[in-house]
Amino acid sequence: MVQANEKRPDASAVVVTGASSGIGKAIALELAQRGFVVFAGVRTAEDEGALQAEAGVGPGQLRPVRLDVTDQEQLATVTRTVEAEAGRLAGVVSNAGIAVAAPLEFVPLEDLRQQLEVNVVGAVATIQSFMPLIRRSQGRIVMVGAISGLVSSRLLGAYAASKFALEAVSDALRRELSAWRIPVSLVEPGRIATPIWSKSLADANERIARMPPEAIGYYQGLMDEVLDGAREVEVKGTPPAAVARAVYRALTERRPRTRYFVGADAHIVNVLRRVLSDPMLDRLIKATRR
C-alpha cells in the first residue's frame, strides 16, 4: 500500500547495482512489485538467467543487465541502455559491494584495494555514469551503506573502511547536489540475514591460510568466534526485504530522509556510538560475536 507521504511510481525506471542475491535482489524484486521498471545489475550470465526467471513479478518489470561496477565499459553500456529504453530515471540504487574479512595486520593489500575499488570507487563511478540522466529526470540517489560505516567490527576493518567512506561520499553528494534539489539518501542496514557474512569469513579462512604462520596462531580463535556469529546472523538477522522497503521509501517519500537505519541493532548502534566512550564501545563489541 502506498502511504500518504509517498508518490506513486509512474512506470519510472530505477537502476539497482549488485542485484544477483541478498539485499540487491530483494531491492530489485520489491521495486518491480511496486511498479518500477528495474534495471538490475548482475555479474554473470548465470545470475542474469536466475533473475530473469523472476521477471514479471509485479506491475513493473525486472530487467537484468550485466554490470560490474568496476568495469567502465559495462557502466557506459548499461547507461546507454537505460537512456534509450527508460522513460524517466527515478533513481539509482548503489548497492554493489563485497566484504573482505581479515585482520588488518595481515590483510593482503590487493584484497584491500579490491574492497575499496568495488565498494567506494565503483559506487562513485556508478553515480557519475548515470548523473546526466538523474539530472534530466530530477531523479534520486540511494546509497546502501551499513552500520559498519559507523562502528568497525573485528576482522571487518577493510569492509568497514569502505562503508565509512560511503558515509563521506553520501554526505558530499547530498550537499553538492542540493542546489538542484536532487535527494541523496544513505540506507544503513544492521545485521541482515544474507550469506555474505559466512561466505566472507569462509573466504577469510582461506586468505589466512595464505598468510604467514603466525597469522593463524594469532587470529584463528577470533575467526572461529566471528564465523559462529555470522552463521547466527544468517538465521536470526533482519530480512533483506526490510532494506528493500527502506530503499522504496527513499525513492518515493516527498521528503526523503538523509539516512534510513534498518533493524533494531542499527538504531541501537547509532545511539551507542554517540553516548559511549571508545573503551566502553570496544568492550561491548568484544562481548559480542561480531
Catalytic: 219? no
**Distance, CA of 130 to CA of 219 (rounded, Å):** 42
Encode 76-127 in three state secondary structure: HHHHHHHHHHCCCEEEEEECCCCCCCCCCCCCCHHHHHHHHHHHHHHHHHHH
Q: Cα 77 vs. chain centroid, distance in angstroms?
A: 22
CA-based nearest residue to 117, from 68, 178, 83, 188: 68
CB 155 within 8 A of CB 201: yes
Q: Which residue in the list 159, 219, 248, 260 is annotated as catalytic?
A: 159
> Which amino acids are annotated catalytic?
159
